[in-house]
Structure 1
Amino acid sequence: MNTRTNDLGRDPVHPLLLRLALPSILAQLVNMLYNIVDRIYIGHIPGVGAAALTGVGVTMPVILLITAFSSLIGMGGAPRAAIKMGQQDNDGAERVLGTCFTTLLGISVVLTVFFLAFGRPLLMAFGASESTIDYAVAYMNIYVCGTIFVQMALGLNTFISTQGLTRISMMTVVIGAIINIVLDPVFIFLFGMGVEGAALATILSQAVSAVWVLKFLSSSKSSLRLRKKYLRPDPKILGAVLALGVSPFIMQSTESLLNLVFNTSLQWYGGDLAVGSMTILASMMQFMMLPLMGLTQGTQPIISYNYGAQNNGRVRQAFSLLLRYAIGYTVFFWVLILAVPQLFVSMFTSDPQLVEYASWAMRIYLGASCIMGAQIACQQTFIAVGQAKSSLFLALLRKVILLIPLILILPFFFENKVMAVFLAEPVADLMATTVTVIMFTIQFRKILAKNEPHSKEEPV
């Protein structure tokens, strides 16, 4: 396998971005299958598919929170390591990697113990009912036992992609996803394990991905290597990692809180049918967001490295391309969703009532998704250049400051309460994107002005 490192500081920006971003996007598309294939199979279990799908759906806050902690360390550490590499400080970059590895291990232990101890009452709070709680608990108890594999696979894979080795990082996801897709029907249907089989297939797949990542980062093929002398956590490095990682952490952990607020509100106003629809809508949001995250992950090494090297021309070029591709993708996705929502809903369920209900809700919930490309491009660029405070504010803005209050407030102004809950999403998207673009336009120029560029821009 070719592990040649792309020259982040000298290769032409546009082809370099495509070489890095396309494998990352493919990895996220496969990761999307990783995340939703369980729900697709579970939703088609004969007789109990709709109830089982709803039950697994209420475990989403737990899964999102576990994933968020991997982002806290991985997405906080990888840009720091890339900036160090741009400054020609490879030892400093490896110190970041070692601190992040040990921190991820500690987080895994704490999360596993916590969710095994308090999982059932949490799931009831997340919107489970008496008819769905058993499915939710069965799935969650097995899934959380694989927390360490999730942390290693997702948290450390960012240190492969930040070296420009996006094909290798893509394989981390592809290997796990293929195993998961193969094992799911075997465990669920052939062995008759139901939701427990889906969870077991997932953690076994993550375990293989984790071994792949650790093996690569310990080999001579990696520019950044896990070394025993750097495994003791450095408080100063950890503080810098947490400061930058808190933004992606909040983006994902507030998805957990958001899911809780959505599910409880929908359970109150619309019952299990509304909650089951939300499971499908959340999956469709992943359809949109994960390829966008792949695009930004492919662009981040270019921006971070060249920002560290004070090469502002290349930083501008990379951001401009990121913005154009992100907006183009979200507009395409938006048109497709509005045109044929039933096509996507039917992937998850064959229940005609749920198909009709979720198709109606999807047009409302994703009504402003066309503008999300601009928000993600700007927010992720703040992270890539180490602007922790700005990225933190924008992470809080959309979900905590705007969306959650809107979910609770809008039903008081509409006769159709369920519609009002779904409407909160596009209203928050419109407001948050407007603020993000204005803020980025003002600050980005100032950030680069302080970075003392030393080279001219190259043709895109």
Structure 2
Amino acid sequence: MRHVIDMTVTGAVGLVAIFVVDLLNLFYIARLGEQELAAAIGYAGTVLFFLTSFGIGLSIAGTALVARALGAGDRDRARRLGTSSLIFMAIGMTVISLGLLPVSGTVLSLLGATGRTLVIADRFLWMVMPATVFLGLGMMYSSILRAVGDAKRAMWVTLAGGIITAIADPILIFLCGLGVDGAAITSVISRVAMMALGYYGVTKVHRLTDRPTLASTLADVKPLAAIAVPAVLTNLATPVGNSIVTAMIARYGDGAVAGWAVLGRLVPVAFGAFFALSGAVGPIMGQNVGARLFPRVRQTLIDSLIFMSLYGIVVWLILLIMSPYVVRAFDASGTAASVISFFCIYASLGWAFNGAVFVGNAAFNNLGFPAYSTVLNWARATLGTVPFAMFGAWLGGPAYGAEGIIAGQSIGGVVFGVISVLICFKVIDRAADKPADELPVSAGPPTAQSPFTSGKGATAGQ
């Protein structure tokens, strides 16, 4: 539990900083008093969510393989895998962002954006999307630092982006009068800063990168792809589900989308520990799998679920109390205010169960069953979203349809969270019965020591 909390809390601070960048952008834009601007940021954020999810998927692969190599005592292999992971991240994020730009307007139209809202959202994407490669590299550097146990330095990699945004946003948006363009420029600057700090920590402090060669990079394609492909497919399910909900909510006007945009940035900040928890338990499970200590793997899952449940309930109570202040902070009114209030008071409780899906994904990816994550996430994004959201919209009617959609999505998440946990325990038992050579990476000697397998609990970075 100590390892879970330490890695999760430090990871949450850093990871939340990534989402704080978007939240602060929207907060300052909302203060301009134009609902179309907030809606535009919401539509643009939905598209950028695809790229962020792709980057998270690649980071999962890098984290898992580097952690296993370290757990098995093979630091040379860890360096090689870290380098290859960064190369694949740079190539992947560049190709996808440049591929999306020419069709960004069409994608925004499919999501429901029209008129001035569409034009503003498209301009924002053209400014920010090319810089997502820096965000991807920053996330990969942070993941490698977590894999080696340096949770605090990993935290500062992403925390830097939030600090820069808090300072630069009001200057560029208000003092320089750049509005949405100022928010876009700030996003680019923060992404570059994350990459630079991550490079220093991984390359200069821990020396977990090596001079790349074509032969070693190509040799790492298969083991990285074995985790990255299903992990990326798994993570893309969430933005797909989010896009479906965005398109459904768009039928209720820019006010509903503006409220949904606030929630899209409030949820990752409020429940950032859930996202961090999946990243934290990955290295813990990965190194214990490498050391063949499956009782610790099971205990990690149990402690993660306990932490997640308590955290989720506390956050719900805070949102319940703070709901009127959240509405006021984003200058929301009408439908936007109703959507925000409804989520804070009622639907946010469902996230106490939603976190189970994140924990399950981390376990599946590190135990050699990544396809389980893919299937469950896509099932949640489709079967666990569309029918529930449609029923909620019908139940809410014209007046409360947007709130009904959000309620339906929350209930579907609860159902699939419970299913994920039940399957996860069975998967751990199956992995424990496998011989070492059938695990994703050779486990190495059971006596291998690491910050997460040592009986004494070695300090971070040791």
* Alignment TM class, shorter chain as reference: 0.7 to 0.9
Residue 105 of structure 1 and its aligned partner are, at CA, apart by 2.0
Q: 1:222 aligns with which of 186, 189, 206?
A: 206
CA shift, 1:394, in A, is 2.0
Counterpart position of 2:88: 103
Please say if 1:424 is aligned against 2:393: no
Q: Is 1:20–2:16 an aligned residue pair?
A: no
CA distance in structure 1 between the partners assigned to 2:73 and 2:181 by the alignment: 48
Cα separation, 2, equivalents of 1:386 and 1:457? 23
Number of residue pairs the alignment of both structures matches:
442
Q: Distance in 1 between matches of 2:265 and 2:285?
A: 30
Of 206-215 and 109-118, deviating more is: 109-118
- Rounded Cα–Cα distance in structure 2 between residues aligned with 1:232 and 1:148: 22
8 Å CA contact retained: 1:68, 1:248: no
Match of 2:430 among 419, 424, 446: 446
State which drifts further: 179-188 or 373-382. Answer: 373-382
Instruction: Confirm or deny: 8 A CA contact 1:60 1:256 kept in the other structure.
Output: no
1:66 is displaced (CA, Å) by 1.3
Correspondence 1:165-314 to 2 at 5 A:
165-219=150-204, 221-229=205-213, 233-234=217-218, 237-268=220-251, 270-314=252-296
Give the alignment of 1:50-199 within 5 angstroms.
50-199=35-184
Shift of residue 277, structure 1, vs aligned partner:
1.4
1:401 is aligned to: 383
Using a 3 Å threshold, how does the CA distance of structure 1 residues 374 and 433 change in structure 2: closer, same or farther? same
RMSD between aligned alpha carbons? 2.6
Matches of 1:321 and 1:459, distance apart in 2: 18
Alpha-carbon offset, residue 189 of structure 1: 0.5
CA distance in 2, matches of 1:283, 1:262: 15
Q: Distance in 2 between matches of 1:259 and 1:315?
A: 31
Among 384, 389, 396, which residue is 2:371 paired with?
Answer: 389
Distance between the aligned counterparts of 2:360 and 2:456, measured in 1? Answer: 22
CA distance in 2, matches of 1:20, 1:430: 25
The residue number in structure 2 matching 1:4 is none
Cα distance 1:40–1:442, how it changes in 2: closer, same or farther (>3 A)? same
Distance 1:154 1:103, change over 3 A: same
- Cα distance in 1 for partners of 2:239, 2:354 equals 19
Distance 1:248 1:189, change over 3 A: farther
The 3-state SS of whatever aligns with 1:227 is coil
Report the CA distance between 1:104 and its aligned residue.
1.7
Q: Is the 8 A contact 1:101 1:231 kept in 2?
A: no
* Matched position secondary structure for 1:234: helix
* 2:442 equivalent in structure 1: none
Contact residue 266 and residue 418 of structure 1 kept, 8 A: yes
Q: Distance in 2 between matches of 1:451 and 1:394?
A: 26
Q: CA deviation at 1:290?
A: 2.0
Q: 1:228 to 1:123 in 2, by over 3 A?
A: same
Preserved contact between residue 83 and residue 304 of structure 1 (Cα < 8 Å): yes
SS of corresponding position for 1:228: coil
Tell me, what secondary structure is at the counterpart of 1:300? helix
Return the TM-score normalized by structure 2: 0.87
User: Which amino acid letter does the alignment assign opposite residue 292 of structure 1?
Assistant: F
Between the aligned partners of 1:373 and 1:357, the Cα distance in structure 2 is 22
Match of 2:201, SS state, is helix
Q: Structure 1 residues 284, 208: closer, same or farther in 2, change over 3 A?
A: closer
- The answer to which of 354-363 and 108-117 deviates more is 354-363
Kept after mapping to 2: 8 A contact 1:161/1:301: yes
Question: Closer, same or farther in 2 for the Cα pair 1:174/1:76, shift >3 Å?
Answer: same
